[in-house]
Each structure stands twice: as C-alpha cells, then as structure tokens.
C-alpha cells in the first residue's frame, strides 16, 4: 500500500446516523484489510466523538452536516471528524477517576476518556470556523 486510500462520509447531526456510520466502517474494515478486532475500538471512538458533536456543538435545532473522513495508510487508519459547531476541544477534557469504588463512581463522563484510551493519537484543531478532530489508530495484523 503506497498511497493513502480515502473515503469521506457526510452525515447529518442526528444520532440516527450512527447506523449509517457503523455500516460504512464495517465495509471499510472489510475492503481495507483491517483485522476485525479493530472494529470495536474504531466504532466506539467515532460514536463518542460524533455523539458529542450532535449533543453539544450546536445551540439550535437546525440540520447540519458533519464530515467523517477515513484515511488508510500502510500502518494506520485516521478518522477525521469535521463540524461547524461552536469551538470545543475534547482533548482538554479532564480524565475521570477510574479507580473509585462503586459508591463514588459518577454516572457518565466516560466518552472522551474512552476515545483517548482506545486511539493511539487524538488531535484537535480549530480551522476556518470548524472543529477538526483527528483520531489515529495503528493497525497491526
């Protein structure tokens, strides 16, 4: 694999698009020769990032488009999620305490933490009124 292969999906800011995102990812995993065990962490990272954008990036109920670009190179896959919502850098989110006993564990707050733990790299950029979140996962056979 010398040149990167790319695929771009544009979805609306509706949680119902998760089915579409999931089936696209399944197809790419198959077409791009990505071992099946990467399906779960990749799907989870995209879901958490996408759900955050849908729930928090817009302060009205207008329909918007969110771009999800997949880039496969020899040793990794990048997933670049671009939205035109309010500026928000999830990489700055404080990590939750995962060592607390049951009584003290708060409900929720794990989404962004899971992205950071399951991906090898997470980069955020604000560029031309857009939030650009790049998730990178190394692919080993």
Partner 1 sequence: MRISVNSNSTHVIVAIEGRLDTTQSDSFEKQLLEVIESGQTKIILDCKALDYISSSGLRVFLIAQKKMMAVAGKLLLCNLQPGIKEIFEVSGFSMIFSIHPDLETAIAAI
Phi, psi of 66 (to 5 degrees): -115, 130
Q: From the list 7, 32, 88, 113, which residue makes contact with partner 1 (rule: CB under 8 A)?
A: 113
Q: Is 111 in the site for partner 1 (CB under 8 A)?
A: yes
From 4, 91, 1, select the one nearest 45 (Cα to Cα). Answer: 91
Q: From the list 98, 128, 140, 141, which residue makes contact with partner 1 (rule: CB under 8 A)?
A: 98
From 85, 97, 98, select the one nearest 124 (Cα to Cα). Answer: 85
Is 124 strand, coil or helix?
strand
Token pair in block for residue 57: 């990036």
Q: Is 78 in the site for partner 1 (CB under 8 A)?
A: no
Q: Is 117 in the site for partner 1 (CB under 8 A)?
A: yes
Q: Is 110 in the site for partner 1 (CB under 8 A)?
A: yes
Q: Is 99 in the site for partner 1 (CB under 8 A)?
A: yes
């Amino acid at each position: 694999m010398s040149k990167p292969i790319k695929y771009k999906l544009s979805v609306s800011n509706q949680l119902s698009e998760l089915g579409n995102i999931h089936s696209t990812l399944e197809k790419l995993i198959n077409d791009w020769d990505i071992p099946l065990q990467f399906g779960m962490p990749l799907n989870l990272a995209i879901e958490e990032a996408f759900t955050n954008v849908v729930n928090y990036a817009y302060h009205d109920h207008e329909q918007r488009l969110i771009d999800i670009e997949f880039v496969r190179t020899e040793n990794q896959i990048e997933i670049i999620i671009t939205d035109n919502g309010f500026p928000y850098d999830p990489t700055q989110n404080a990590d939750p305490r995962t060592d607390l006993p049951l009584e003290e564990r708060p409900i929720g707050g794990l989404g962004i933490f899971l992205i950071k733990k399951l991906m090898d790299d997470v980069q955020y950029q604000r560029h031309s009124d857009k939030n650009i979140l790049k998730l990178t996962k190394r692919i080993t056979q």
